[in-house]
């Protein structure tokens, strides 16, 4: 299950942070590190700060977009401060670890961390099913990147150990759509809403952002998403074809 959990670092600018994050991961049994458009290389400083976890840092997969990093993931959780401007389903760190382990039995999951100074953009955060906020001291809430990775990796490991020791019957398995399948649904939904003139072609994102938030909160299962795609297709055939 731990092998199914990716740690995704977006736009990292200091190589030492890559090494420190790799160390934090390996201590907790995580090994899948993905770097999205890093502004530095995995250099000698990264290896030095990895301190025995150089294999995680050196084997990190480098990709050009967050989309590519999480395309095969059924659960995506973005690390973020609580925002009043972008309301999104939130998890506490413990809930995040439990959900990540529960759903890793079915497919890959991703913990996404943003840039050292500016974090994740709103567009990147909207690609996540949930946001997680580490409840640090409000008077001094400055967590560096490696600390954030360590905290959430710890919660994932604790959830994994609890799952291994559990005496309860396993929860019924649920299949969730992968990120790329959700994106195809959103594209289909926007196409139908534009064609039916439900939304304006001048400002489609105003409604689409709310729809993304709605479906992120609802977490439709794979079969449910297929039904929704079928509904959209039926609307196209029966209503829009008459125009």
CA atoms within 13 A on the CB side of 31: 8
Instruction: Single out the residue of 82, 81, 102, 147 nearest to residue 5, CA to CA.
Output: 102
User: For 184, left (φ over 0), alpha (ψ -120 to 50), or beta?
Assistant: alpha
Q: Mean pLDDT over residues 110-122, rounded?
A: 94
Q: Mean pLDDT over residues 210-222, rounded?
A: 91
3-class DSSP state of 88? coil
Least confident residue range of 118-127, 172-181, 215-224: 172-181
pLDDT tens digits, residue range 137-146? 988 877 899 9
DSSP string over 106-141 = TSEEEEEE-BTTTB--HHHHTTSSEEE-----TTS-
What pTM was computed for the model?
0.79
pLDDT value, residue 230:
94
pLDDT tens digits, residue range 164-182? 887 555 666 788 999 999 9
Residues 6+ apart with CB under 8 A from 172: none
Answer yes or no: are the C-beta atoms of 10 and 124 closer than 8 Å: yes
DSSP string over 189-227 = HHHHHHHTTSS-TTSTHHHHHHHHHHHHHH---HHHHHH
- Report the alpha-carbon distance of residue 38 to residue 33 in Å, rounded: 12
Burial grade of 214 (CB within 10 A; 0-12, 13-18, 19 or more): exposed
Domains of the chain: 2-167 (3.40.1280.10), 179-241 (1.10.8.590)
3-class DSSP state of 228? helix
Tokens 């125009």 belong to: 243
Q: Mean pLDDT over residues 79-98, rounded?
A: 85
Answer yes or no: are the C-beta atoms of 222 and 176 closer than 8 Å: yes
* Size of the chain in residues: 243
Element (H, E) at 59: none
């Amino acid at each position: 299950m731990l092998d199914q959990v990716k740690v995704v670092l977006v736009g990292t600018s200091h190589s030492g942070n890559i090494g420190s994050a790799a160390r934090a991961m390996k201590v907790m049994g995580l090994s899948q590190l993905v770097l999205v458009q890093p502004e530095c290389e995995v250099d000698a400083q990264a290896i030095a700060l990895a301190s025995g976890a150089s294999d995680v840092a050196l084997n990190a997969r480098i990709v050009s977009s967050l989309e590519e990093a999480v395309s095969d993931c059924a659960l995506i959780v973005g690390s973020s401060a609580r925002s009043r401007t972008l309301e999104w389903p939130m998890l506490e760190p413990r809930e995040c670890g439990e959900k990540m382990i529960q759903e890793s039995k079915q497919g890959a999951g991703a913990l996404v961390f943003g840039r050292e100074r500016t974090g994740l953009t709103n567009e990147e955060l909207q690609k996540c099913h949930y946001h997680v906020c580490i409840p640090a001291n409000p008077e001094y809430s400055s967590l560096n990147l490696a600390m954030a990775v360590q905290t959430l990796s710890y919660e994932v490991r604790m959830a994994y150990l609890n799952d291994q020791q559990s005496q309860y019957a396993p929860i019924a398995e649920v299949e969730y759509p992968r990120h790329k399948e959700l994106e195809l649904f959103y594209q289909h939904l926007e196409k139908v809403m534009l064609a039916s003139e439900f939304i304006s072609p001048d400002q489609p994102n105003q409604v689409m952002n709310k729809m993304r938030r709605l479906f992120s909160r609802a977490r439709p299962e794979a079969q449910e998403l297929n039904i929704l795609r079928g509904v959209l297709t039926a609307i196209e055939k029966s209503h829009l074809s008459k125009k």
